[in-house]
Structure 1
Amino acid sequence: MENILNSKLNKGLAYSTEERQRLGIHGLLPPCVQTQEAQEHLVLENLHRIKEDIDKYTYLMHLLDRNERLFYKVLSSHVEEIMPLVYTPTVGEACIKYGFIFNQPKGMFITIKDKGHIYDVLSNWPCQNVKVICVTDGERILGLGDLGAQGMGIPVGKLALYTALAGVNPSQCLPITLDVGTNNQAYLNDPNYIGLKQKRVTGKEYDDFIEEFITCVKKRFGSTCLIQFEDFHNTNAFRLLEKYRDTACTFNDDIQGTASVALSGLLTAVKMTKVELKDCVFLFYGAGEAAIGTANLIALAMSEKGISEEQAREKIWLFDSKGLVVKNRPEGGINHEKAPYAKDAKPIKVLSDAVDFVKPTAIIGAAAQGRQFTEEIIKKMSKLNKRPIIFALSNPTSKAECTAEEAYGHSEGQAVFASGSPFKKVDFKGRTFHPGQGNNCYIFPAVGLAAVAADLKHIPEKFFLIAAESLSNQVTSEELEEGRVYPKLNRIQEVSFKIAVDLVKYALDNGLSNLYPKPKSVESLVKEAIYDTKQINKNSHVIIAQLGSVNKFQFMQIQITLERSA
């Protein structure tokens, strides 16, 4: 019976009659033998019967619990339909309700009470060959705020996309939530909240906890285990990235992944507007991790086009909750990260007035404040630019600064538009526009695949510029004609592969890889690291039968052995 309860080995009705007899499961399944493709079709039929997206999410998570390879086959083959269900925007609702839908462990919860024993906790994870960790402390989940331990839905979803979109082996992926408490009073009062019921730990105790975590990860899984920081509050996100970027293989997706995908969209957009990047003026609505990370990467990209980074920053403006970020504003609030973009200009508190003053080529939303790009602002952008660039990048959909229909409609079809959440195609005056989704999924899975394939020591900032350029270069002329600034999502596996190859080539040329000697073919190296949703070691049933009855976590260990021998 154990043989069909392990999600990593279970094939559902795809077991042949011989396999059922050898595994001792003959009679436990209906006599019908189905292919993986037939089971995939059944999954889709069941999904289409379910009305609510959150219920579809729950169904898919249960599929992951019982048949891992079928889950990834469905997700990777139907990215446009399934990705919004397992990640943005549905994952936001899933996190809010995580206490109700939690079924069985898909990652690890490490709490502040485990301080001093984090290595022992990590040792409880049965897979030895972890190569990628996505970790959150749950303080800033999407645009939803502090969800504490219930933010676990984010690293689970992110790592599912590592596998489905770039082929990183799920056995090498580990979602982790660091529970240091929550300041969400509703959760502290909620008997169904699954995390520690205490206020967040801060200061030195928090920093020491993070330091122990990083140290123990490297000790347990090796110094080249990739650690992706996810949804940390910006007060911690920037400083943790700066502290560990040169001593661990790490990056922050909210800062660097967002920046890379946004820059890629802008690189494509300027091809459509015929305005060179170095001549553009950018106005960010928002001045947090996403905005500043993107601004920094734009400045780096512009500096490679012939102007200094200082000159580039003069063309980049930030607008936060206090208004335009200028040096002499009375409220202050200009922290270390914002300071390079603070200008000698008058304070402006209204976004439409800032558009009049800055006269931007592109306006980029990253504040998680919905519907702030009003009809007035879009029309002003259209007067300033023949083809205004309007990126409404905030997630989830309710937080988007404007809809695709609003952007195209108020600009008379001239806007170059991208969003963080998906929008359907828009028909306007005889033209059909396909809005681009500036989703980090175009970037972080490829970075993970490159890290695994090349055994990377560090993730330099240049990686995200290379990834942005590689992604932009893969937008076809047909996609440009449709108004897309990103490749179609149904091409994302091939796109991720190409980005990973470009990143590995740079890593090998610049001494960032532990591989020696240098492989003859980078393409072959990357292909060898890719997970096959169909392959289960042909000898697995023999090995398992010899082992007899084992528990589920032991099966995970067995799977690693089988895949290494495949």
Structure 2
Amino acid sequence: MHLSNIITLAHLRTPTLYKVSCRRSFLRVACLCCSDLSCVVVRKSDNRTTLSSLSIMFSSTRCSFLVIFPLTYLLIPPSQLATSRFAPFPVISNSGLGGCGRVCDARRQRSSPMKVVCMTPPSRSSDRNGSVVLETPLKELKKDSPVTDVDDNSTSAGGPQDVYGEDRATEDQFVTPWSVSVASGYTLLRDPHFNKGLAFSENERDAHYLRGLLPPTVIPQETQVKKMIQHVRQYQVPLQKYMAMMDLQERNERLFYKLLIEHVEELLPIVYTPTVGEACQKYGSIFMRPQGLYISLKEKGKIREVLRNWPEKNIQVIVVTDGERILGLGDLGCQGMGIPVGKLSLYTALGGVRPSACLPITIDVGTNNEKLLNDELYIGLKQRRATGQEYAELLHEFMTAVKQTYGEKVLIQFEDFANHNAFDLLEKYRSTHLVFNDDIQGTASVVLAGLVAALKLVGGNLADHRFLFLGAGEAGTGIAELIALETSKQTNAPLEEVRKNIWLVDSKGLIVSSRKDSLQHFKKPWAHEHEPVNNLLDAVNQIKPTVLIGTSGQGRTFTKEVIEAMASINKKPIILSLSNPTSQSECTAEEAYKWSQGRAIFASGSPFPPVEYDGKVFVPGQSNNAYIFPGFGLGLIMSGTIRVHDDLLLAASEALAAQVGQENFDKGLIYPPFTNIRKISAHIAANVAAKAYELGLATRLPQPKDLVKFAESCMYTPSYRTYR
């Protein structure tokens, strides 16, 4: 095999951080130096297999670096590199990766300091997994400097790169907690990535200078979980519980996720809806420390520089909001940061995406909320919202910078943008970026799954039912479109034909063809031939729907008369009250069951307690997006999908509906319990990945034989690691 066929030399002009994976097949390490900026990428060109990892050497003037060569694939010892195309880069040493001693030797040879963030174990390097991260201190970059994405970001499991040893595939391996140097002592206790509190063993306390900094008792993680859940339960106010959980996340990341996973049904309403809504409203007064990136109009023209300020470089999921439509609470401006933080906590806890690969971002373009503008504790820009070209230019710079900084496969989830921006952004970037709008697509997918499951209780298929929506914004039109797509797929009928069974009511009444000229573009497909109808009750009586769905954000709009009308039309009316938070729900579970004489099949966006009616206990289901987006995101990441296709959303819905068992149907539930959410997410991820491979959108090849097991192997597990 010729060296020229398997080695590529790529020149870079920007000092950039790259992560270098070390797998069991990477047997040697060479310490190199050179005199110009360059990056050596070693990749096998044989089409029979694809390397799941790259060897990377990044250099700047008179600096030395560690480069890992996968000899299993190259079959070329480092000693021969000086006579090859690598002649400008003389080999200084060839050895197994030997730990911090050799790193320090390399550091002394540099004229500019470099930070080692994480490295392999100091012994038996060929038998362990690890990683090396090298970073130059240079921050001033040329505005026109190109960014080359050369990191394949993979692990021994074949999934995303495991910098902290977080994936299940490496959970039995020892890890070394490296920061600027080896994290130890007081610094280690202040690092949420590595802090274990009283769970540090006797040996770890000796090795990392923790003696005297902790009480003498060693407490296992299981006991810590019991202690923390008792601590959270002592608070009566949900916001206080939220603050206790956020404080834990900032102190001990693994304990936070362990606690959330083991008590997910109890804590999900705390870390996300409905409590997160109140947290956003009061974010200015409870703000303690930054939990994500804030990009405001002040950063226009230098967003790439802002992104580089984030300490993690291997980002795979970004949740971004501009704060204009936070849940059903309206414009909360910069205080909407609680939403991306909460969403990404669920990506990790429920979907197994590494916390270090998640980045919450708030785009601050001002706020039109007068109360916030006059609040001295408000943390955002105190100005009216930017609109038009100024807004579009900032968002375009952001989208471009994200792709340049983190690559084409980073998932960007739009969250709580106002209708007029949400649809435009999704339409503009869905063909060039991996984008996903949870309010439009995620809500639609989880509702469709609930409807498919509900059909097993009421009979028939989607084409046999009539749907009436109260609310024609992002959620309403998104759900309607996905229902139409699935119905068209099942019946082979044209999309325009199946849409005729779906009706929407907005603030001006039933959407009909006579209103078409004044409608927003996303409402026009739902303008059918019908006489004008001004209110929901009349629409129910005239359309006679079998399914009533609320996405209006207006509380108590499903009145007693409306629900009684639904019950008179249908033996088992399907009523979905989806608006968040609880105060904005169209009706409560108790109202739905009592006004329908216990015949309604009910689900809501926010949780409601069980209801007793006529001697029977009804357990209301929750149509929560958390069923879908964590597994959906994991499926995109583990398959290396580059674009979101509507068929991927349908695949996620089908997988979720398939997880509803007979024991759930017996209770009137159309969603499975959250206690099995990680198993559910693995099946959703597998179904999404399978569809991505089928559509040719997946780039991580070859396709794993068992996608469910592969998804489980890629999932982050929050159990403590053993430090040497």
Tell me if the contact between 1:179 and 1:196 (Cα under 8 Å) persists in the aligned partners: yes
Larger Rg: 2
Question: Structure 1: how far apart are the matches of 2:518 and 2:591?
Answer: 32
How far the C-alpha of 1:525 sits from its partner, in A, is 2.8
Partner of residue 552, structure 1: none
1:209 aligns with 2:374: no
**Equivalent in the alignment of 1:262:** 447
Deviation of the 1:403 alpha carbon: 0.7
Amino acid in structure 2 at the alignment position of 1:506: K
Distance 1:333 1:325 in 2: 11
Q: 2:496 aligns with which of 303, 310, 315?
A: 310
What per-residue deviation string (whole Å, max 9, x for no partner) do you get for residues 236-274 of structure 1? 000110111111011100000000011111111111111
2:507 pairs with one of 318, 321, 327: 321
For the pair 1:90 / 2:279, whether they are aligned, the reply is no
Contact 1:138/1:177 (CA < 8 Å) preserved in 2?
yes
Deviation at 1:329, TM superposition (A): 4.1
**Residue of structure 2 aligned with 1:18, choices 203, 218, 224:** 203
Give the Cα–Cα distance (whole angstroms) in 2 for the partners of residues 529 and 163 of structure 1. 11
Structure 2 match to 1:561: none
User: Hey, what does 2:684 align to over in structure 1?
Assistant: 499
Amino acid of the structure 1 residue aligned with 2:667: E
Structure 2 matches for 1:47-446, cutoff 5 A? Answer: 47-306=232-491, 307-329=493-515, 333-446=518-631
Query: What is the CA distance between 1:449 and its match in structure 2?
Result: 0.8
Q: Does the 8 Å contact 2:647/2:691 carry over to 1?
A: no
1:492 Cα deviation after fit? 0.9
CA distance in 1, matches of 2:437, 2:511: 24
Name the SS for the 1:123 alignment partner: helix
1:28 corresponding residue in structure 2 = 213
SS of equivalent to 1:177: strand
Farther off after superposition, 451-460 or 354-363: 451-460
Provide the rounded CA distance (Å) in 1 between the counterparts of 2:275 and 2:585.
14
Contact 2:323 2:417 in 1 (8 A): yes
1:175 counterpart SS class: strand
Match for 1:530 among 701, 711, 715?
A: 715
Which residue in 2 is equivalent to 1:462?
647
Shift of 1:311: 1.6
Q: 2: distance between equivalents of 1:144 and 1:522?
A: 39
1:303/1:309 contact within 8 Å kept: yes
2:96 is matched with which residue? none
Secondary structure of 1:193's counterpart equals: coil
Q: CA deviation at 1:516?
A: 2.2
Contact kept in structure 2, 1:280 and 1:362, CA below 8 Å: yes
One-letter amino acid of the structure 2 residue matched with residue 499 of structure 1: I
| Partner AA of 1:26 in structure 2 | R
Contact 1:367 1:394 in 2 (8 A): yes
**CA displacement at 1:528 relative to structure 2:** 2.8
| Structure showing the higher strand proportion among its residues | 2
1:144-187 Cα deviation digits (max 9, x unpaired): 00000000000000000001111111000000000011111111
**Alpha-carbon distance between aligned partners in 2 of 1:456 and 1:29, rounded to the nearest angstrom:** 45
Q: Deviations over 1:443-494 (max 9, x none)?
A: 1101111122111101111111111111111100010110101001111111
CA drift at 1:20: 1.0
Q: What is the SS of the residue equivalent to 2:514?
A: coil
With 22-31 and 511-520 compared, the bigger mean Cα shift is at: 511-520
User: CA separation in 1, counterparts of 2:639 and 2:301?
Assistant: 32
Give 1:7 shift: 0.5
Q: Is the 1:323–1:349 contact (alpha carbons within 8 Å) kept by the matching residues of 2?
A: yes
What percentage of aligned pairs have identical amino acids? 52
Aligned residues: 538
Decide which moves more: 508-517 or 204-213: 508-517
Contact 2:577 2:605 in 1 (8 A): yes
Partner of 1:553: none
Question: Secondary structure of the equivalent of 2:513?
Answer: coil
Cross-structure match for 1:563: none
Q: Distance in 2 between matches of 1:459 and 1:329?
A: 32
Distance across 1 between alignment mates of 2:702 and 2:464: 43
Question: Deviation at 1:416?
Answer: 0.6
- SS of 1:164 mapped into structure 2: helix
Determine if contact 1:319/1:325 at 8 Å carries over to the other structure.
yes
User: Residue deviations 1:209-249, cap 9 Å, x none?
Assistant: 11111111011111100000000001000011011111101
Decide whether the 8 Å contact of 2:556 with 2:586 is kept in 1.
yes
User: Corresponding residue for 1:512?
Assistant: 697
Deviation at 1:519, TM superposition (A): 2.7
TM-score computed with the length of structure 2 as normaliser: 0.73
Q: Secondary structure of the residue that 2:309 maps to in structure 1? A: coil
| Cα deviations by residue, 1:49-99 (Å, 9 ceiling, x for unpaired) | 111000010010000000000000010111110000000000000000111
Q: Distance in 1 between the 2:222 and 2:355 partners? A: 20
Q: For each residue in 1:102-121, what CA deviation from the matched residue of structure 2 results, as whole angstroms up to 9, or x when unmatched?
A: 11121100011111100000
- Look up the equivalent residue of 1:420 and give its one-letter code: G
List per-residue Cα deviations over 1:353-372 (Å, max 9, x = no partner): 11111100111000010011
| Residue aligned with 1:255, SS | helix
Q: CA RMSD in A?
A: 1.1
For residues 177 and 71 of structure 1, what CA distance do their matches in structure 2 show? Answer: 23
User: Which letter does structure 2 place at the counterpart of 1:65?
Assistant: E
Residue type of the partner of 1:174? L
CA distance in 2, matches of 1:486, 1:161: 18
2:447 touches 2:479 (CA, 8 Å); kept in 1? yes
Q: How far off its partner does 1:276 sit?
A: 2.0
Deviation at 1:523, TM superposition (A): 2.8
Are 1:452 and 1:529, in contact at CA under 8 Å, matched by a contact in 2?
Answer: no
Contact 2:471 2:552 in 1 (8 A): yes
User: What SS does structure 1 have at the residue aligned with 2:295?
Assistant: strand
Of structures 1 and 2, the one scoring higher in RCO (CA 8 A, sep 6+) is 1
- Equivalent position of 1:45 in the other structure: 230
Aligned partners of 2:387 and 2:499: how far apart in 1?
32
Structure 1: 5+ residue stretches without partners = 543-566
Q: Quick one: distance in 1 between partners of 2:583 and 2:705?
A: 48
Alpha-carbon distance, 1:522 to partner: 2.0
C-alpha deviation, 1:521, in angstroms: 3.1
CA contact (8 A) 1:329 1:346 kept: no
Any unmatched runs of 5+ in structure 2? 1-185
Q: Which residue of 1 aligns with 2:107?
A: none
C-alpha distance in structure 2 between counterparts of 1:273 and 1:520, whole Å: 37
Write the letter of the residue equivalent to 1:288: G
Q: Which has the higher helix share?
A: 1
Amino acid at match of 2:494: S
Task: State the distance in 2 between where 1:469 and 1:526 align.
Answer: 17
Q: Distance in 1 between matches of 2:229 and 2:351?
A: 22
How far, CA to CA, are the matches of 1:529 and 1:99 in structure 2?
37
Verify the 8 A CA contact 1:443 1:467 in the aligned structure 2: yes
- SS of 1:224's partner is coil
**Does the aligned pair in 1 maintain the 2:316–2:357 contact within 8 Å?**
yes
2-structure distance, mates of 1:335, 1:24: 64
